[in-house]
Amino acid sequence: MNCLIWNVRGLGNPRSQQRLHAYVKQHRVKVLVVLEPMIPLDQRFISRRLGFRSVTSNISGHIWVFSSEVVNVECDLDHVQLLHVRVSAPFLPSVLFCSFVYAKCDYIERRDLWATLLHIKPDVGPWLVGGDFNIVRDASECLGTSGGRRLPMDDFNEFILASSLVDAGFEGSSFTWTNKTIWKRLDRVFVSTDWCDRFHSIRV
Please state, in angstroms and rounded to a whole number, the distance separating the CA atoms of residues 1 and 104: 29
Please state, in angstroms and rounded to a whole number, the distance separating the CA atoms of residues 180 and 86: 37
Please state, in angstroms and rounded to a whole number, the distance separating the CA atoms of residues 24 and 69: 14
Q: Report domain extents, the chain.
A: 2-198
Please state, in angstroms and rounded to a whole number, the distance separating the CA atoms of residues 146 and 7: 24
Provide the pLDDT for residue 3: 94
Instruction: Tell me the mean pLDDT in the region 181-203.
Output: 92
Helix (H, G, I), strand (E, B) or coil at 142: strand
Asked whether the predicted pLDDT for residue 49 surpasses 80, the reply is yes
SS3 of 71-94: the string is CEEEEEEEECCEEEEEEECCCCCC
Asked whether the predicted pLDDT for residue 148 surpasses 90, the reply is no
Residue 132 CB partners (closer than 8 Å, separation 6+): 7, 35, 36, 101, 102, 103, 186, 187
Provide the pLDDT for residue 121: 97
**131 sits in which H/E element:** strand 127-132
User: Among candidates 192, 185, 136, 147, which has minimal Cα distance to 167?
Assistant: 192
Provide the pLDDT for residue 149: 87
Question: What are 157-185's pLDDT values in tens digits?
Answer: 999 999 999 999 999 999 999 999 999 99
Question: What are 89-143's pLDDT values in tens digits?
Answer: 999 999 999 999 999 999 999 999 999 999 999 999 999 999 999 999 999 999 9
* Amino acid in position 165: L
The one-character DSSP state at 64 is: E
Provide the pLDDT for residue 202: 84
Q: Which has more confidence, 120 or 8?
A: 120
Instruction: Tell me the mean pLDDT in the region 24-53.
Output: 94
| 8 — pLDDT class (breaks 50, 70, 90) | confident
Instruction: Tell me the mean pLDDT in the region 68-97.
Output: 96
Q: Which CATH architecture has domain 2-198?
A: 4-Layer Sandwich (3.60)
Which stretches within the chain are classed as H helix? 14-27, 43-50, 107-120, 150-163, 193-198
